[in-house]
Amino acid sequence: MVSKLQAIAVCLAAASSLVSGQTFRRLGTCPTLGCILPPDQQDFLPGQLFDIRFEVHAPKNGSEAFNNGVPDEKFTATIVKEEKGHGKGPRAKSLTEFFGLKQEPKLEKWTFSWFEDLFAKDAKTPSVVNVASKVYRSVALYEPGTYTVVLDYYGGKTTVATWVVRPLAEKKKAKNVIFFIGDGMTTNMITAARLLAHKTINGKYQSLLQLDKFPVLGHQMSHSIDTFITDSANSASALYSGHKSTVNAMGVYADSSPDAFDDPKVETIVELLSRIWGSAWGAVSTAFLADATPIALTAHTRSRGHYGPLIDQVLNGVTANYSSWTGHDGPDVFFGGGAENFLPGSGSYLGKDYYTEFAKKGYSVSLNKTALLAAPKTEKALGVFCKSNLPVWLERNIFPENLDKLSNDPAGGKGAAKDLPGLKEMTLKAIDILHTRSKKGAGFFLMSEAASIDKMMHVLDYDRALGDLLELDDTIRATVEKLTELGILDDTLIIVSADHGHGFDVFGSADTKYLASQDDDRSKRDAIGVYENSGLSQYTIANPAISYNTGPNFPLNWDPRYVLAAGLGANPDRREAYGVDKSGPRTPAAPLANGSSSDYYANAKDKPNGFLVNGTLPTDQAQGVHSLTDVPVYAMGPCQETFGGTYNNIDVFYKIATCLGLGHGKHVTQGKKGGK
Amino acid sequence: MVSKLQAIAVCLAAASSLVSGQTFRRLGTCPTLGCILPPDQQDFLPGQLFDIRFEVHAPKNGSEAFNNGVPDEKFTATIVKEEKGHGKGPRAKSLTEFFGLKQEPKLEKWTFSWFEDLFAKDAKTPSVVNVASKVYRSVALYEPGTYTVVLDYYGGKTTVATWVVRPLAEKKKAKNVIFFIGDGMTTNMITAARLLAHKTINGKYQSLLQLDKFPVLGHQMSHSIDTFITDSANSASALYSGHKSTVNAMGVYADSSPDAFDDPKVETIVELLSRIWGSAWGAVSTAFLADATPIALTAHTRSRGHYGPLIDQVLNGVTANYSSWTGHDGPDVFFGGGAENFLPGSGSYLGKDYYTEFAKKGYSVSLNKTALLAAPKTEKALGVFCKSNLPVWLERNIFPENLDKLSNDPAGGKGAAKDLPGLKEMTLKAIDILHTRSKKGAGFFLMSEAASIDKMMHVLDYDRALGDLLELDDTIRATVEKLTELGILDDTLIIVSADHGHGFDVFGSADTKYLASQDDDRSKRDAIGVYENSGLSQYTIANPAISYNTGPNFPLNWDPRYVLAAGLGANPDRREAYGVDKSGPRTPAAPLANGSSSDYYANAKDKPNGFLVNGTLPTDQAQGVHSLTDVPVYAMGPCQETFGGTYNNIDVFYKIATCLGLGHGKHVTQGKKGGK
């Protein structure tokens, strides 16, 4: 396994930017030449397993050139717990002594390069760095308090990291946790979705979102450990592990080594739950299952793109490489898209058939909604319903003719995936199985993701993004009803949040008839009504010619004359005409016919009636990008009161872990396959 | 007074759009030809005074043409309280009988016109409507429950309005309320302001905003009664009165009459507080004082632009026109800009000197910071520190040389206003005066507005908007300290919210050096770093060459090489180069040299080094516009627990009014000038 992964990783190391400047950094968490990973200012749950890596950097050239590019191989490190008011504190110990390790790890060495800024990139003058490193695997800190780790290198330089171990939390207060993630979902989008699906009379909504009924609201900060804009990998990882990371990393602190799978790991919520309580757990997503949000529950890699190996990790855990690690016996439920990483071939790990691999470990395998609904509640369940992401709610419910155009058969045929479940069917079935399979007292944990809020915002397809947000809200409503039926509503903490945002907002209405009637770009913009001319939502007005039957929580008309005018602050070049695209999701930008494939212009086939707007993003970006905004957290159930106010995304993990009694003062292995 | 106001109003009626289409509506709250104001679905505080207007419309032409344009003058109306489970309910009574009025109001008649859509506007074919109307002044509903109002017209047509009177709330739970409003402030902007002023190390903030420390968080919906995008007038009015209104209206439901001051009124929070408890109250703003957010506390008009008369209303109440109304004796504190509406001349009501008018009623009058700080705590205080809006925090603190360019002397001279206070100095002085002047048990109410968050977002000047947001946060921090010093922190409910948003977000960093070095629009965009290239905030890194001394809650460097890249979804044409403008606030769009004054292009003088981005708004818009997003509500103090979750903006009023014991089952006039 190592050799193959290393091969992949070498390629990626060239493509991915390691991060001490701004646009680019040598290593984002290491502004000095001595690196401690986990770095300064990190938090830990008591007893949470993690790895520690030290790196000493010797830049050969560039503004940081040092010691002729020869890294100090004789570096040393110590750790000590701070003791207040006890006179003389304890002595700082080497890591080997402190953690009682049998032997000192071997020294590792490698070289990497980076650009100091965009001018250096244009000039093709990379800075090259030689590295000496050691890694300590699978350790834990059990006593709450503050720890100081010191790295000594180059005969007198020191790097210091201060770590905080959070309070003990050994009592389980919630039997179950259901964590809904609207990928990329912001307050702005929730407001817009409410306007689409729920009618107002004279300023008062006649019905509301399920989200609007949650008693407790908080905001969480989504930024990465080393950049203020995150991607979905490291933000999901922060929510699941209490440790932020770098863009594209999950379940690890990103190091500078070429191998994407040797980075220092941290134990995740489901690994903790499996080890400590033996709880059942599952993940449901409308994305492909190897995508960041579902896979970050079990993934330990710096590079999210290793889809095949990550599907192996979710089933078999981190067993095959490097060191012992906490075990888990695979999820009880795993539903979503991404057949290409299960079908034998180039997309799967070692070319194996993962339908078979899952079946061998006792999973029922469902490839369509009918099979899903019939799957036994007592068995572990895999459900893979298409290649790539699930088609969005708008295709599945309003424009099903578009489904036939796809070649996404989960069984590997050339045709389209038929008989697709939605987020609601997957989530309700997951609850049935998890509730049935959860051992007395151990309960379950379910993550359910509405992935295409993000994916459709990326392509500026506001209708499809909001359709999937409304599907999420409808799923939450159905979940509350289901938990009530099962008699477990009061035992279940329901959290709804997001991993990051997009800078979306609605700013008025557009008269699509008037816009289409105008001949030039500037006149078309007169179709936009702002303030007193914005009017009310026409999506909630019944049109006798239209009957979608998608329920009371969705629009009555997706294609009214007056539509929402909305947009983002960060865009590629594109045309805008607003209103729903009936032929499928947008592709707003494309290369010119004979142009570079990484130089994007407004796509001539997208919104041909619209007006042209040049973008604000680099022209190698074909899509919109993530944004900075804090995202909302909705909480209901045991421990709900701890989720009010404003906090970091890692605190979502500590709040959930505290509610679930996962912070222990000694190594606990009550789970069926606990133990390292 | 009536004649002059009517003259103004006639002009406005032509300019303002009355609102049953979408871009334009006949009357937004009245889709049928019979109108009840307040309309269906409105809420009331028990005992809250309000007016009721009925209108019967007879369109002469257009798609709604009816009865040859002759309105029914014999319309009748009844009201009845719904009684459940009591068998036969009470009989519906005429309004005159129900409210015990001495006489039936006179019939009024007028004519107005509107356009059915943009095509009609282009063709210049207005629809003309004749109206018959009656208005019932200064009534109240004292019993909580549901009321039904029925309008019968045209011999068989009926319009029904259902009203809800909220529960009684006769006990005062908070002595004082301080309501901070960040005009236009969203969660996205708060997140960006935190990033500017507070430093992170490896993903953990080393200091936080004061807002981040509030224990309770909610979201409120800002939409208008008849459009989904609001302006600051009717959203402020909703927050202050529990009644939404139409864009540009405050303290009234907008009717279709030509007079902007005869619309049916609703009693506001400070009118209630003055009447019921005789509490002291004040308003502080960085806007001109006749601007929507401060003036909506006492204003009753459909047209926010009547600045002079509205300054008279704040001092003298609604006494001179139409009918008796609840009295108030003017604010105890009134600090802000807008000298042009106080100085005798065309900007003041009847050309009078309002410095003198305020002084005659016992106010100290301060025209600069020195005078403000020296003003007696025991007297009512007026402070007007400049013409127009206060220069923003960035000019007052970082670029004071720009202040000299202004001609804004509050005394009416030609020079610049000197010795300006900021929001913090005004707010702390206001608290001193209000605390000193509040009668035992009656406490005080203060509204403090950071106005230029909105004003600078309108001109896409993100640095200046966020500077004023940080000034607001610094003011809230100082307020908590001041209340602690005075020993009244635990008696005081502090609410921080906004009236609406702008679709702003940060999407990355920009390398200003690289951007300036590139020659064409597309290459300049390569300076934008997204995701792993966004880096960290360089605003928090000390530059030895710079020392602003603006305190720990502000950036150390406003002009780093790497700046935030941010933007809005709704823009006029403009250039973008990011980074602070040192010469003063931006003017992003301007008419062409010999072009129409209402056709805006990117301003050649704004960001000349930047890249061109064409807009998404109608080309008659020179600025960005308000957006849809729900805005945050932060609460701390007595009743804080009632502000969690998601609710309508009118609920902010009902929550505050309930906490202040303003919902009474009989007419209460404990205040010094209570009574109608």
Can you spell out the DSSP letters for B179-204? EEEETT--HHHHHHHHHHHS-EETTE
pLDDT at position B3 is: 40
Residue B501 to residue A187: CA distance in whole angstroms: 11
pLDDT at position A86 is: 60
Residue in A with minimal Cα distance to B201: A41
Q: B434-446, pLDDT tens digit by residue? A: 999 998 889 999 9
Q: Please, are residues B454 and B232 in contact by the beta-carbon 8 Å criterion? A: yes
Residues of chain B neighbouring A529 (CB-CB closer than 8 A): 22-23
A601: Cβ contacts below 8 Å, ≥ 6 apart: A573, A589, A590, A591, A592, A595, A619
Residue of B115, B116, B239, B534 to mutate for A, most A C-beta atoms under 10 A: B534
A259 marked ligand binding residue: no
Q: Do B535 and A21 touch (CB under 8 A)?
A: yes
A183 marked ligand binding residue: yes
pLDDT at position A385 is: 98
CA distance B285 to chain A (A): 23
pLDDT at position B17 is: 32
Residue in A with minimal Cα distance to B243: A203
Residues of chain A neighbouring B221 (CB-CB closer than 8 A): 191, 194, 205
The backbone torsions φ and ψ at residue B206, rounded to the nearest 5 degrees and listed phi first, read: -90, -10
A348 alpha-carbon distance from chain centroid: 21
pLDDT at position B321 is: 53
CA distance B279 to chain A (A): 30
Q: Please, are residues B419 and B370 in contact by the beta-carbon 8 Å criterion? A: yes
Q: What is the mean pLDDT of residues B38-58?
A: 98
Nearest Cβ partner for A646 among B42, B212, B504: B212
CA distance B599 to chain A (A): 10
Torsion sign, CA atoms A581, A584, A588, A594: negative
Q: Do A503 and B502 touch (CB under 8 A)?
A: no
Residue in A with minimal Cα distance to B216: A645
pLDDT at position B512 is: 93
- What number of residues does chain B have? 676
The reported pTM is 0.94
Q: Please, are residues B347 and B289 in contact by the beta-carbon 8 Å criterion? A: no
DSSP helix/strand/coil, A671: coil
Q: Do B614 and A614 touch (CB under 8 A)?
A: yes
Tally: H helices and E strands in chain A? 17, 28
For residue A99, give Cα distances in angstroms to A140, A167, A185. 8, 20, 41
Residue A26 to residue A80: CA distance in whole angstroms: 28
Residues of chain A neighbouring B16 (CB-CB closer than 8 A): 532
A641 marked ligand binding residue: no
DSSP helix/strand/coil, A237: helix
Tokens found for residue A59: 């830049």
Residue in A with minimal Cα distance to B576: A616
A458 marked ligand binding residue: yes
* Beta-carbon count within 10 A of A298 CB: 27
DSSP helix/strand/coil, B574: strand
* Beta-carbon count within 10 A of A416 CB: 17
What is residue A443's DSSP assignment?
-
- Bigger pLDDT: A18 vs B206: B206
Residue A373 to residue A166: CA distance in whole angstroms: 42
HSE toward the beta carbon, residue B589, CA cutoff 13 A: 26
B11 pLDDT band, cuts 50/70/90, is very low
Residue of A20, A248, A530 to mutate for B, most B C-beta atoms under 10 A: A530
Residue in B with minimal Cα distance to A227: B535
Residue A151 to residue A131: CA distance in whole angstroms: 15
DSSP helix/strand/coil, A118: helix
Residue B198 to residue B474: CA distance in whole angstroms: 12
For residue A580, give Cα distances in angstroms to A276, B272, B274, B489. 48, 47, 51, 51
Residue in B with minimal Cα distance to A647: B212
State in Å, rounded, how far the first CA of chain B is from the last one: 20
Residues of chain B neighbouring A305 (CB-CB closer than 8 A): none
Residue of A226, A505, A523, A599 to mutate for B, most B C-beta atoms under 10 A: A505
Q: Do B223 and A244 touch (CB under 8 A)?
A: no
> H/E element holding A654?
helix A649-659
Nearest Cβ partner for B570 among A225, A507, A625: A507
Bridge partner list, A180 = A448, A496
Q: Do B505 and A503 touch (CB under 8 A)?
A: yes
Q: Are strands A492-497 and A333-337 parallel, antiparallel or unpaired?
A: unpaired
Residues of chain B neighbouring A244 (CB-CB closer than 8 A): 202-203
Q: Which residue spans within A444-561 are E strands per DSSP?
A: 444-450, 492-497, 504-511, 528-529
Q: Please, are residues B651 and B605 in contact by the beta-carbon 8 Å criterion? A: no
pLDDT at position A320 is: 53
3-state secondary structure B591-646: ECCCCCCCCEEECCCCCCCCEEECCCCCCCCCCCCCECCCEEEEEECCCHHHHCEE
Decide: residue A549, CB within 10 A, 0-12 exposed, 13-18 middle, 19+ buried.
exposed
ipTM above 0.90, yes or no: yes
Q: Please, are residues B194 and B205 in contact by the beta-carbon 8 Å criterion? A: yes
**Tokens 């034998």 -> residue:** A344
B156: Cβ contacts below 8 Å, ≥ 6 apart: none
3-state secondary structure A355-424: HHHHHHCCEEEECCHHHHHHCCCCCEEEEECCCCCCCCHHHHHCCHHHHHHCCCCCCCCCCCCCCCCCHH
Encoded amino acid at B323, one letter: S
Residue A163 to residue A160: CA distance in whole angstroms: 10
* Low-confidence spans in chain A with pLDDT less than 70: 1-21, 85-88, 319-324, 326, 671-676
DSSP helix/strand/coil, A195: helix
Residues of chain A neighbouring B517 (CB-CB closer than 8 A): 119
B143 alpha-carbon distance from chain centroid: 30
- DSSP string computed for A277-345: T--EEEEEEEEETTSHHHHTTT--BS-TT-HHHHHHHHHH-S-SSSS--------SEEEEE-GGGTSSS
Residue A602 to residue A605: CA distance in whole angstroms: 9
Residue B237 to residue B649: CA distance in whole angstroms: 10
The torsion angle over the Cα atoms of residues A427, A429, A432 and A433, rounded to 10 degrees, is -100
**Binding positions of B for Zn(2+):** 183, 454, 458, 499-500, 626
Q: Do B618 and A648 touch (CB under 8 A)?
A: no
Tell me chain B's radius of gyration from C-alpha atoms: 26
* Beta-carbon count within 10 A of B629 CB: 30
HSE toward the beta carbon, residue B95, CA cutoff 13 A: 24
State the Cα angle at B501 between B497 and B506, rounded to 5°: 110
A-B CB pairs within 8 A amount to 381
Residues of chain B neighbouring A512 (CB-CB closer than 8 A): none
pLDDT at position B88 is: 65
Torsion sign, CA atoms B220, B222, B228, B234: positive
pLDDT at position B128 is: 98
Q: What is the mean pLDDT of residues B614-627?
A: 91
Q: Do B247 and A192 touch (CB under 8 A)?
A: no
Residues of chain A neighbouring B21 (CB-CB closer than 8 A): 535
CA distance B181 to chain A (A): 18
Q: Do A525 and B195 touch (CB under 8 A)?
A: no
HSE toward the beta carbon, residue A592, CA cutoff 13 A: 5
Q: B137-182, pLDDT tens digit by residue? A: 999 999 999 999 999 999 999 999 999 999 999 999 999 999 999 9
Q: Do B535 and A627 touch (CB under 8 A)?
A: no
Catalytic residue among A16, A127, A232, A237: A232
Q: Please, are residues A553 and A474 in contact by the beta-carbon 8 Å criterion? A: yes
Walk me through the domains of chain A, giving residue ranges and CATH numbers. Answer: 2-165 (2.60.40), 176-501+629-659 (3.40.720.10), 504-613 (no CATH)
Q: Do B202 and A226 touch (CB under 8 A)?
A: yes
Residue A234 to residue A650: CA distance in whole angstroms: 11
What is residue A69's DSSP assignment?
G
Residue B98 to residue B101: CA distance in whole angstroms: 8
Q: Do A625 and B530 touch (CB under 8 A)?
A: yes
A676 alpha-carbon distance from chain centroid: 26
Nearest Cβ partner for A22 among B535, B576, B617: B535
B551 pLDDT band, cuts 50/70/90, is confident
Q: Do A41 and B562 touch (CB under 8 A)?
A: no
Q: Which residues of B are annotated as catalytic? A: 232
Nearest Cβ partner for B531 among A503, A562, A625: A625
Q: Do B626 and A530 touch (CB under 8 A)?
A: yes
A626 marked ligand binding residue: yes
Tally: H helices and E strands in chain B? 17, 28
